[in-house]
């Protein structure tokens, strides 16, 4: 009887899409405005879904307070009000596309959430563009 | 060629998280503010997803008017403007966590919706906390 | 050159609409389901609007961090996860309608926000029912 | 390592639910107000989900600009500000229920999106009624 | 001590923008896609704001149940699932722009709501286009 | 008989709050995380309200297509996917707080919109923080 619990969080960050092995021209062609050398930014909305059995003693899959704190410490503190390209270890050498940010967030949280739970991450870059991992 | 049809509904209710086999101290420690003996409450948003084949005569999986009425009679009339702990049979002896409410709603609707359709329930306790069953 | 700054916050609470000078019958007739003696509840969404001149040094009307903390201390701590009728001084003898809650929140914040700023409060009881004071 | 990318779009259209092999009476009985002979309409919101591997050179599953243009050309230009029953080939002989519109949009896009990607379509007829294909 | 109470409602309708005293060419030029002779449609969202004193006996400005029923009878029954140009008296000879629909709704409700209350109407044609009367 | 017409638009940008006449310490103290020297960013949502008489020939206050294009050319092209501090003339010497951005957008649009119309601008920096000018 598996139930999924979803917690929504958010962080604001600057980023730039860029492949350093390409010419400036090719970068502009592929990434368009998102390649702006001076960065732009987003209000990222994050949904973390944890799936598991209901604990009969608490009636909960996981404590949402715990999940909310985990997201705050592991994700918001790392990325909120940051320049993803310049201020974070994770995107020093990885293009901070929504896809890559979503996978990175999954990898960070996967190490903190017990293996008996399934984990899924959805990341909104804008209300009209969003990604999910694993799909 | 299976299509899913989702209907969104809502109800407002009071509740309190509490395990009667624990001490007051442990209840406060585990459930925090949600353990307040005088209850608190939520605007619950409910999404009921019914999956099946499109009926070639109507072009519909199920009649959304029928589904909407079913939710009104079976769920809203039971839980809307109620104290889940005091006013309902379902949560007299079951902790009304979002997880348990979601499973209970699934169980009630599953008996009313023909077996040829799959059923999934998503319940929002707040816009930032929600659950799904089956996961 | 007056600019308005709005901060949105939220709290969850139980309440009951009731006029103790009326018969039970009249209470049920006027307040309907909202008169349920065992309470029901809502996710209240609150918008606090502060209007004033932009400070040329900061470029801000008021520090949103300060406003956010003020709302947390003065309003959320007082009302969040509470039974408005039983757990608060403000609604011991005042019917906790959305209108009255909105005016009470205005009165509390008005004493904390310097007089040179105008203040307006909007309170959502549900996404479809909300009130504003002053109108 | 499959990631899903979702793009949200919208179009406004008029439609009428009607089965020409039925009597007017049966049409009214089954489709209710949606059978109005003079049509009614909706703001349709569309979510197109494309699932695949991240391209290591771009960090993207598909270029969202490309996906957005594809939806514009193939779906919005075809259905936006149209009467689905009268102005489109697709619904001349097919009842434009949300279910059928969703499947038709899937079929159109499936031919344009390389087979290595999975495709899912969600269509909102109203914020409270929506469908998904494949389920 | 005036408080404003807002109730949100909705209706779905087809319409067409057209000035019968103009040539087809000029109509297309001015109204673009909205001039489509076969109509298109919208999910209209309506906010009705009633402003007045709080009644000390009820703690309410007006009974939201009454306001909700009034909107249902006077506005939804008239316009929901209708073709505004063909099915309504109000827009037989009046162009159903968002501006005109908003003023018409105001005029209808103004006759039903006691003069001691102020009345304002906001109408969303889409989430990104909306109008207010009186301004 | 004045009616207000509102158009919602959006742009994504990076920015940093900073007063160059202050020490780094004071900047950090006043602006907190928003002072990050490497910038952060937002999805700005913009509402432009134009108020005037309904033109009896068109039934419209202003053509929403025209208003939408004006916002695109004057505001989105200038600020979308830009670093407000580095890439724009407007904020080279003006702190890009939400308040200042809102006033700047008003000033730009005021020169393009005929004087017979009133103009108001609302700018969302996040869904929970927003500003209005004139107040």
Banded model confidence at residue D104, pLDDT cuts 50, 70, 90: very high
Q: What is the Cα–Cα distance from D41 to D29, expressed in whole angstroms?
A: 20
Nearest one of B86, B125, B9 to A60, comparing CA atoms? B125
Res A15 pLDDT > 90:
yes
Q: What is the 3-state secondary structure (H, E, C) of F39-54?
A: CEEEEEEEEEEEEEEC
What distance in Å separates residue F16's CA from the closest CA in chain E? Answer: 28
Q: Are F53 and F2 in contact (CB under 8 A)?
A: yes
Tens-level pLDDT at each residue, chain E (135 residues): 899 999 999 999 999 999 999 999 999 999 999 999 999 999 999 999 999 999 999 999 999 999 999 999 999 999 999 999 999 999 999 999 999 999 999 999 999 999 999 999 999 999 999 999 999
Of A31, A128, A133, the CB nearest to D8: A128
CATH (domain of F86): 3.30.479.10
Give the DSSP letter string of E41-81: EEEEEEEEEEEEEPBTTTTBSS-HHHHHHHHIIIIIHHHTT
Structure tokens, B42: 């939520």
Average pLDDT over residues A32-44: 97
- Among chain B, residues having any CB pair with chain A shorter than 8 Å are 17, 19, 30-32, 94-100, 102-103, 127-135
Nearest CA in chain F to C52: F135
Q: pLDDT tens, D25-82?
A: 999 999 999 999 999 999 999 999 999 999 999 999 999 999 999 999 999 999 999 9
Q: Are F41 and F120 in contact (CB under 8 A)?
A: no
E102 is catalytic: no
**Greatest C-alpha distance within chain A:** 60
- Do D and F touch (≥3 CB pairs < 8 Å)? no
Q: What is the Cα–Cα distance from E124 to E42, expressed in whole angstroms?
A: 9
Per-residue burial over B18-50, b = 16 or more CB atoms within 10 Å of its CB, e = otherwise: bbeebeeeebbebbeebbbeebbbbbbbbbbbb
Banded model confidence at residue D1, pLDDT cuts 50, 70, 90: confident
Q: Which long-range contacts (CB under 8 A, 24 or more apart) does C71-78 make?
A: C71/C7, C71/C9, C71/C46, C71/C109, C72/C9, C74/C108, C74/C109, C74/C112, C75/C9, C75/C11, C75/C46, C75/C105, C75/C108, C75/C109, C76/C9, C76/C10, C76/C11, C78/C108
Q: pLDDT tens, B43-100?
A: 999 999 999 999 999 999 999 999 999 999 999 999 999 999 999 999 999 999 999 9
Q: What is the Cα–Cα distance from D50 to C96, expressed in whole angstroms?
A: 48
DSSP class of residue A54? P
Q: Which residue is listed with tokens 């040179």?
A: C116
In-domain check, residue F112:
yes
In-domain check, residue A101:
yes
Around Cβ C93, how many Cβ atoms within 10 Å? Answer: 8
CB contact under 8 A, F40 and A15: no
Around Cβ B9, how many Cβ atoms within 10 Å? Answer: 18
Give the pLDDT score at C81: 98
pTM: 0.97
At C92 the three-state DSSP class reads coil
Domain count for chain D, please give it: 1
CB contact under 8 A, E39 and D43: no
DSSP class of residue E34? G
Which residues of A are designated catalytic?
A: 34, 81, 125
Preceding amide of D35 cis, omega within 30: no
Q: What is the Cα–Cα distance from E70 to E101, expressed in whole angstroms?
A: 17
Preceding amide of D134 cis, omega within 30: yes
In-domain check, residue F20:
no
Give the pLDDT score at B106: 98
CB contact under 8 A, A118 and B131: no
Helices (H) and strands (E) in chain F, counts: 5, 5
- Among chain C, residues having any CB pair with chain E shorter than 8 Å are 17, 19, 30-32, 94-100, 102-103, 127-135
In-domain check, residue B25:
no
Nearest one of B120, B94, B84 to B12, comparing CA atoms? B84
What distance in Å separates residue D73's CA from the closest CA in chain B? Answer: 25
Q: What is the Cα–Cα distance from F47 to F121, expressed in whole angstroms?
A: 6
CB contact under 8 A, B38 and C87: yes
CA angle, D1 then D6 then D8, to 5°: 175
In-domain check, residue F49:
yes
| Share of residues in chain A with pLDDT > 90 (%) | 99
CB contact under 8 A, B133 and A7: no
CB contact under 8 A, F64 and E129: yes
Nearest one of D45, D62, D55, D66 to D4, comparing CA atoms? D62
Q: pLDDT tens, F70-88?
A: 999 999 999 999 999 999 9
Q: pLDDT tens, A67-120?
A: 999 999 999 999 999 999 999 999 999 999 999 999 999 999 999 999 999 999
In-domain check, residue D52:
yes
Give the pLDDT score at B67: 98
At F132 the three-state DSSP class reads strand
- First-to-last alpha carbon distance for chain C, in angstroms, is 22
Residues of the domain holding F124? 2-11+43-133
Q: Are E121 and E109 in contact (CB under 8 A)?
A: yes
What distance in Å separates residue A113's CA from the closest CA in chain F? Answer: 28
Give the DSSP letter string of F103-122: HHHHHHHHTTS-TTSEEEEE
| Share of residues in chain F with pLDDT > 70 (%) | 100
D125 is catalytic: yes
For chain F, the C-alpha Rg in angstroms (whole number) is 17
CB contact under 8 A, A40 and F81: yes
CA angle, E131 then E132 then E134, to 5°: 145
Q: Spot the catalytic one: B34, B45, B76, B132.
A: B34
CB contact under 8 A, F15 and A127: no
Q: Mean of the per-residue pLDDT values for chain D?
A: 98
Q: Spot the catalytic one: C81, C90, C99, C132.
A: C81
Around Cβ A126, how many Cβ atoms within 10 Å? Answer: 17
Q: What ipTM does the predicted assembly reach?
A: 0.96
Res D12 pLDDT > 90:
yes
CB contact under 8 A, A12 and F127: no
- Among chain A, residues having any CB pair with chain F shorter than 8 Å are 10, 12-15, 33-34, 36, 38-43, 80-83, 86-87, 126-127
Q: What is the Cα–Cα distance from A40 to F44, expressed in whole angstroms?
A: 11
Structure tokens, A29: 């062609």
Q: What is the Cα–Cα distance from B131 to B122, expressed in whole angstroms?
A: 6
Question: Which residue numbers in chain F have pLDDT < 70?
Answer: none
Q: What is the 3-state secondary structure (H, E, C) of B49-111?
A: EEEEECECCCCECCCHHHHHHHHHHHHHHHHCCEEHHHHCCCCCCCCCCHHHHHHHHHHHHHC
Give the pLDDT score at E63: 95
Residues of C in contact with F127 (CB under 8 A): 8
What distance in Å separates residue E62's CA from the closest CA in chain C? Answer: 10
For chain C, the C-alpha Rg in angstroms (whole number) is 17
Of D127, D128, D132, the CB nearest to B3: D132
Q: What is the Cα–Cα distance from E122 to E125, expressed in whole angstroms?
A: 10
Of D94, D96, D127, the CB nearest to B8: D127
Q: Are E126 and E42 in contact (CB under 8 A)?
A: yes
Q: Are A97 and A129 in contact (CB under 8 A)?
A: no
In-domain check, residue E34:
no
F10 is catalytic: no
Q: What is the 3-state secondary structure (H, E, C) of C37-89?
A: CCCEEEEEEEEEEEEEECECCCCECCCHHHHHHHHHHHHHHHHCCEEHHHHCC
What residues contact B40, with CB distance under 8 A and at least 6 apart?
B14, B15, B16, B33, B34, C12, C13, C14, C41, C80, C81, C82, C83
Of D42, D83, D126, the CB nearest to E39: D83
CB contact under 8 A, C98 and E5: yes
Q: Which residues make beta-bridge pairs with F41? A: F14
Give the pLDDT score at B52: 98
Average pLDDT over residues D90-103: 98
Interface probe, candidates F105, F125, F131, chain C, greatest C C-beta count within 10 A? F131
């Amino acid at each position: 009887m598996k139930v999924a619990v979803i917690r929504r969080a958010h962080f604001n960050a600057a980023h730039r899409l860029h492949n350093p092995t390409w010419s400036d021209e090719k970068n502009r062609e592929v990434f368009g405005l998102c390649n702006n050398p001076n960065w732009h930014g987003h209000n990222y909305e994050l949904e973390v879904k944890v799936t598991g059995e209901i604990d009969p003693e608490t009636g909960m899959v996981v404590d949402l307070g715990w999940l909310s704190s985990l997201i705050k410490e592991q994700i918001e503190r790392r990325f909120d009000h940051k320049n993803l390209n310049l201020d974070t270890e994770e995107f020093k050498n990885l293009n901070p596309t929504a896809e890559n940010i979503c996978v990175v967030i999954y990898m960070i949280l996967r190490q903190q959430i017990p293996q008996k739970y399934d984990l899924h991450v959805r990341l909104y870059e804008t209300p009209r563009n969003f990604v999910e991992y694993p799909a």
